[in-house]
Chains A and B, each alone.
Chain A
Amino acid sequence: MKRTSVLLAAVALGIVWQIAAWALHRPILPPPLEVLSVFATEILGELGLDFLASLARVVASMALAVLTAVPAGLALGQSPSLNRVFSPVIYILYPIPKVVLVPVILLFLGISDVAKVVIIFLILFFQILVLVRDQAAAIRPELVASVRSLGAGRRALFRFVYYPASLPAILTALRQSIGTAVAVLYVAELFATQHGLGYYIYLHGSTLFDYPRMYAGVVAMSLLGLGLYFGVDWLQRRLCPWQYAA
C-alpha cells in the first residue's frame, strides 16, 4: 500500500468525523481537531504511559507466541504422526474465541500483567501454530531431498529450509491476528488495572465523562494497532523479499 494513499484515507476519515461532529453537535462526539490537540498533550503524559503499558503487553505476548508456536508448528509440520495426535486437539481449540477465556484466566492468574499477556498470547499462539504447521507440511519432499543431498543434516535443514520457509507464515499470522489481539487487550485492560489504553478509555469515557480524552485514548489504541500492523508489514518486506519480487 502506498504511503500517500494511506495518508489520504486518514484525512478522508477525519473529514467524515468532522462532518458527523458538526451534524450531531453533542459532547459525546467532539471534533477531530479538539481530540488531536488533547492527544498531543496527553501522549506526553498519562496517555503516553498507558500507551507504553499496552504496547509492552502486546509485544511480550507476540514474542512469547513466536518463541513457542514456531518450534511447535515446525515439529508438527515435519512429523505426520505427531500431527495426527495433536491436530484434533488444535481443531477443537483453534476456533474458540479466546476472549471468552478472559474471566477464566483472570480467575487462575489473578489480575496481574501475566494474565493479560497470556490472553493475547493464546490468540496469537494458535494462529501462528496452525499457519507454521501447514507451511512446514507443504514443503516439497523434493526440496528437502535435494538440500539433504548437498550434505544438510537436521540442523542445516532447519537453518536453510524450515526456518526461511516458515518466516512468511509467522509474519502473516502476526499480521492477521494483531486486530484481534488489540481488541482483546482492550477487554483485558478493563479488568482491575490502572495502566493501559483500555483502562484509560474506560476511565475517561464511563467514569469521568471527559469525552475528548476518551477519544484521544481511542486514537492511541488505533495507532497502536496500525503501528503494529505496519511494523509487521515492514518486517515481512525486509525478511521475505522474494514474496515481493515481480
Chain B
Amino acid sequence: MIEVDGLSFHYPDGTAVFEGFTWHVAAGEAWAVLGPSGCGKTTLLYLLAGLRIPNLGAVRIGGERVARPRPRSGLILQDFGLLPWATVHDNVALGLRVRGFYGPDGKHAPAGEAVTARREITHAWLDRLGLSHLAGSYPGQISGGQRQRTAIARTLALSPDLLLMDEPFAALDAPTREDLQNLTLQLRAETALTTIVVTHTIEEAALLGRQVLVLGRLPNRLPRLVPNPGAADPAFRATPEYVAACTRLRRELEAAR
C-alpha cells in the first residue's frame, strides 16, 4: 500500500534526515515507528501525509505519488490539532465540512463521493467515541483524553484507509493512554485500517506495532525492522512476549543511536 522508494529529505538548513531510504507497508498492517527525538520519525509521517515533499525519490500510496495530503489518509497529532474556537461537534464535523466545501473533486476529497449525511456521520462518531455529552463543549473545556478522542472521531468520520498518528498519546496520563491505545486497536479491528503510529516510547511501539521500524542516527539510510507478530491486541500487554518485545526494541534503539 505504501511504497517509500529511494527517499531523500533534507531540512532547509541542509541536515539530511533520509538518504536513499526505502520502506514498504502492506495494506491492513499495524506499524509503529520508534526512535529518539530528532531521528526524523515525525518528518517521515509528514512525508507520508503529503505535508512535506521529498527532495529525491518518491512516496507512493495506493500506487499514486503523494504530492499533497491524500483524502483517504487520516492524520492525528499529539496536540493542537483541534480548532479551539469550534465545539467538539463542529470539530468532528470539520473534515466533512471541508469535503463539502470543495465537493468530490478527487483532490481535496475522494472523487465521486459527495458528503450526504454529515449530521448522521458526525453523531455516529461522537457516539462511538463516547463524546455525545460533550458535543457543545470547546476543546479548552475538556480533558486531554477527550480531546484526542475528538481528533480520532474527526479523522475516522472521513472513513480513511490509512491512519497516521504522531505521538498521539504522549501527553496523556497512564490510564487514559492505555484506554486510548485499546480503543485505537478496537477501531483498527473494526475498520480494516492500515495504521502507522510514531512514538518514542518502547512500550507503545511494542503494543501497537506488529512491525516496528526503528529510526536512529541521521541520516536514516537502511530501515531497521523488528517483527512483533503478537502485537495490536490489548491482551498482548500481559504476555511474556510483550516483555521480550520491549527488551528487543530497547536493544535495537540503542544500536540505532
Contacts and interface: CB of A to CB of B under 8 A. Distances in A.
A140 B77 CA distance: 12
Nearest to A145: B51
A145 B77 CA distance: 9
A240 interface: yes
Contact of B140 (A152, A153, A240, A242): A242
A164 B101 contact: no
B49 A156 contact: no
B98 A147 contact: yes
A88 interface: no
A156 B99 CA distance: 9
Contacts of B86: 164, 242
A230 interface: no
A150 B140 contact: no
B118 interface: no
Contact of B138 (A140, A161, A167, A245): A245
Interface stretch (B18-26, B66-74, B183-191, B241-249): B66-74
B85 A153 contact: no
Given A156-B101, A240-B85, A149 B79 contact: no
A35 B150 CA distance: 58
A206 interface: no
Chain A interface residue bracket vs B: 20 to 34
B95 to A, nearest CB: 4
Interface residues on B, range: 35 or more
A72 B47 CA distance: 31
B79 A142 contact: yes
Given A142-B77, A149-B69, A149-B73, A242 B84 contact: yes
B225 to A, nearest CB: 26
Indicate the member of B76, B94, B154 with the most A CB atoms within 10 Å: B94
Nearest to A243: B85
B109 interface: yes
Interface string A59-70: 000000000000
A146 B83 CA distance: 10
Contact of A149 (B49, B107, B137): B49
B140 A245 contact: yes
Interface in B75-129: 75-87, 94-95, 97-99, 101-102, 107-109
Contacts of B108: 151-153, 156
Interface centre among B50, B69, B85, by most chain A C-beta atoms within 10 angstroms, is B85
Nearest to B151: A146
Nearest to B76: A146
A160 to B, nearest CB: 7
Contacts of A25: none
Contacts of A161: 83
Contact of A151 (B99, B151, B164): B99
Given A149-B73, A153-B108, A143 B80 contact: yes
Given A142-B81, A146-B81, A151 B75 contact: no
Contacts of A246: 141
Contacts of B76: 146
B101 A146 contact: no
Interface string B130-164: 00000001101100000000010011001000001
Contact of A150 (B79, B84, B107, B154): B154
Given A151-B109, A152-B108, A242 B80 contact: no
A160 B97 contact: yes
- Give me the 4 closest cross-chain CB pairs, A-B, nearest first: A149-B75, A146-B81, A150-B95, A142-B80
25 contacts: A140-B80, A142-B78, A143-B81, A145-B77, A146-B80, A146-B151, A147-B83, A148-B51, A148-B69, A149-B49, A149-B50, A149-B75, A150-B69, A150-B158, A151-B69, A151-B98, A151-B102, A153-B107, A156-B102, A164-B83, A165-B85, A242-B85, A242-B140, A245-B140, A245-B141
Given A149-B69, A152-B98, A242-B84, 5 more contacts: A147-B83, A149-B74, A150-B158, A153-B107, A245-B138
Interface of B: 46, 49-51, 69, 71, 73-87, 94-95, 97-99, 101-102, 107-109, 137-138, 140-141, 151, 154-155, 158, 164
